[in-house]
Amino acid sequence: MRTWKWMFTAALLVSVSAAAQQPAESQTSGPAANGPMPTDSQPLSVGTVPPLPADSAQAPAASASQPAASQTATAPAPTPSAMPQPTTMDQVVDRFIEREHGLMKALSNRTPVVETYLQNLSADPQLGPVPSEDHYFLGRMDMGVSVDRKDYLKEQDKGGMGGMETRLLGGFHKLYKVQYQPTGFSWMVYADRADFDRSHYEFHYIRREFLGDVRCLVFDVTPKKGSGRGRFLGRVWVEDQDYNIVRLNGTYVPSPRNSYFFHMDSWRLNLIPGYWVPAYIYSEEGDFSAGVKNKLAFKAQTRIWGYDLKKGDKDDELTQIRVDSVKDETATTQDASPLQAERQWQQQAEDNVIERLTRAGLLAPEGDVDHILQTVVNNLEVTNNIDLPRPVRTRVLLTAPLETFSVGNTIVISRGLIDVLPDEASLAAVLSHELAHIVLGHNLGSKYAFNDRMLFSDDSTYANLGFKHIPEEETAADKKAVDLLNNSPYAQKLDNVGLFLKALQTRAPQLNALLTTHLGNPLAENGTVNRLTALATKGPALDNNKLDQVAALPLGGRVKINPWDDKAEMVKTAPVAITSARDKMPFEVTPFYPRLARYGASTTPSATPATAAANSTPGTN
């Protein structure tokens, strides 16, 4: 299992340019080579068509295409593709309205995890808009009729919440101060949950456009006069095979008194056959041009995952039977010695916690990212002659706040932290702190070997689990971590770690929510970095003008989560040259631009997007 040499994973972490070429090559054919498309010049305004009665929008053909709402945690059945292809843009509109209602129905029994991370902005003369404070929301969203949510965070962490009002607003509420409504950020999973039809909206075909590998038809959507409050105003992108909406961009009108709807850009991914499920929503408000009074400005990323999670009702958990019984393959025929028993007990606690966190949608299943993490841990172990009775495992926490912790021999590191680390040495530094806890025997969580302690609802996970060490153990782990690093292949690169810690310190006072941990010890408290402080003086001074000095990265650049099965993988992006200090954006949120691809296309290159033969596109005459 363990190889007795160390290796850099730099090829994966630092330079991913080679891998980034692959998806680009798969798009060998441009729009012109992909079969007939509607021409932009044809009269395709569909707003003139008489509105259909609401019921006829869901004609028998529509209901026949619906999958049986599955109660189990499996993908909905694929849609039969036997439906005739639309021949006019009017028919395309009918089709995507019907597909939208089909999606709502298919997802109506789902309760995915929804996370929103928001940074308020203020203007910096050199760096442009920079975070001035931040907010974090995490919960489960009920995709049923009301699109409601349950929060994982305690009441004081999430700001004011209203029941009905929250649902209606889908924005933020301005009374005495601005209060962000977490539901608002996930509002645009659908354009209009209740009334997405021709009697409430007009649809105007704009043009065709590729989003990634997927050819789309673009429509502007405007609410009809007098169609009511909080209606979608914006644009939708519709893929041209099954006519599902794959992207929505816009806002809601008219604004209620004393509140706003904010603007959103909402992306869907084709993760199951026939359906595109909401995955990313970017929101942004604010204007930093001269003369504008800066009242409010923010950027926010909302991510949705865990579609395939069980609902997590208490009954469900109590009746769940574990079928994957593992045969005890220990060589010995004797009873466990006291030390062996202690280790088995810790293993049991570790397994319980990892399984429970995975089931709550907070931990990615074991996967590709773990191979990279384990390689780094292995490098530290081998060069320090560490030989533990059980191998160290790693797992990815799916959330954004910068966080590591360990339970038993498993090191957990958050997606957000992997994202912002500039290089492998910095990754090694944060992992070395947890490895030090394990080497020093700072075992936490053995109480979780009692299975009754795993019986809680998913949204109370943070109240029931915790892995914070006492300050003395933190100090000891930091000291040991520096020893481990000094003996490791990363010893020559600790300047980079120092730079990262300096960048973190620069932003820490403004990023309290990003630095608030929910399971482990924080990297910084009250605006001061307290992790690995011995390394914080290493390296050169932080200098924004040095464009080759990248001390920390924006969020979202490294780890990609599959919203259906929660698998984590490294993002493949080509390196982009930094041309000014404003390009660095350490710890910041940015818009989403996922490369869209059809289901199965990324794993089987032969299954390319629509070919001319297989694809009849509407309105070409």
Residues near Zn ion (CB under 5 A): 469, 474, 477, 521
> CB 477 → Zn ion: shortest distance, Å?
5
Q: Using an 8 Å Cβ cutoff, are 317 and 460 in contact?
A: no
> CB 404 → Zn ion: shortest distance, Å?
7
- Cβ neighbours of 85 (radius 10 Å): 16
> CB 343 → Zn ion: shortest distance, Å?
21
Within 238-367, where are the H helices?
314-319, 338-359
Q: Residue 407 or 477: which CB sits closer to Zn ion? A: 477
> CB 443 → Zn ion: shortest distance, Å?
12
> CB 407 → Zn ion: shortest distance, Å?
12
Q: Residue 374 or 521: which CB sits closer to Zn ion? A: 521
Q: Residue 122 or 533: which CB sits closer to Zn ion? A: 533
Q: Report the half-sphere exposure of 402 (CA within 13 A, side-chain side).
A: 31
Question: Is the sign of the CA dihedral 603, 609, 614, 616 positive or negative?
Answer: positive
User: How many whole angstroms separate alpha carbon 284 and alpha carbon 304?
Assistant: 18
Q: Residue 357 or 532: which CB sits closer to Zn ion? A: 532
Q: Using an 8 Å Cβ cutoff, are 140 and 152 in contact?
A: yes
> CB 303 → Zn ion: shortest distance, Å?
26
Q: What length is written for the chain?
A: 621
Neighbouring residues of 558: CB distance < 8 A, sequence distance ≥ 6 = 13, 418, 419, 421, 570, 571
Pairing of strands 559-561, 524-525: unpaired
Strands lying side by side in the sheet with 172-174 = 178-180, 172-174, 259-260
> CB 437 → Zn ion: shortest distance, Å?
5
Q: Using an 8 Å Cβ cutoff, are 479 and 172 in contact?
A: no
Question: Is the sign of the CA dihedral 274, 209, 41, 205 positive or negative?
Answer: positive
> CB 345 → Zn ion: shortest distance, Å?
22
User: How many whole angstroms separate alpha carbon 147 and alpha carbon 514?
Assistant: 26
Q: Residue 186 or 521: which CB sits closer to Zn ion? A: 521
Which tokens in the block code for residue 531? 């992790």
> CB 110 → Zn ion: shortest distance, Å?
36
Shortest-Cβ-distance residue relative to Zn ion: 521
Q: Residue 277 or 354: which CB sits closer to Zn ion? A: 354
Q: Where are the beta strands (DSSP E) in 398-512?
A: 404-407, 410-414
Block residue for tokens 């059980």:
390
From the list 478, 471, 409, the residue with the least C-alpha distance to 443 is 409
Q: Residue 203 or 467: which CB sits closer to Zn ion? A: 467
Instruction: For residue 540, say if its preceding peptide bond is cis, omega within 30 degrees of 0.
Output: no
> CB 481 → Zn ion: shortest distance, Å?
9
Q: Residue 436 or 513: which CB sits closer to Zn ion? A: 436
Q: Using an 8 Å Cβ cutoff, are 409 and 438 in contact?
A: yes
According to DSSP, the residues that pair with 128 across neighbouring strands are: 124
φ/ψ of residue 133, rounded to 5: -160, 170
Q: Residue 44 or 519: which CB sits closer to Zn ion? A: 519
Q: Residue 116 or 521: which CB sits closer to Zn ion? A: 521
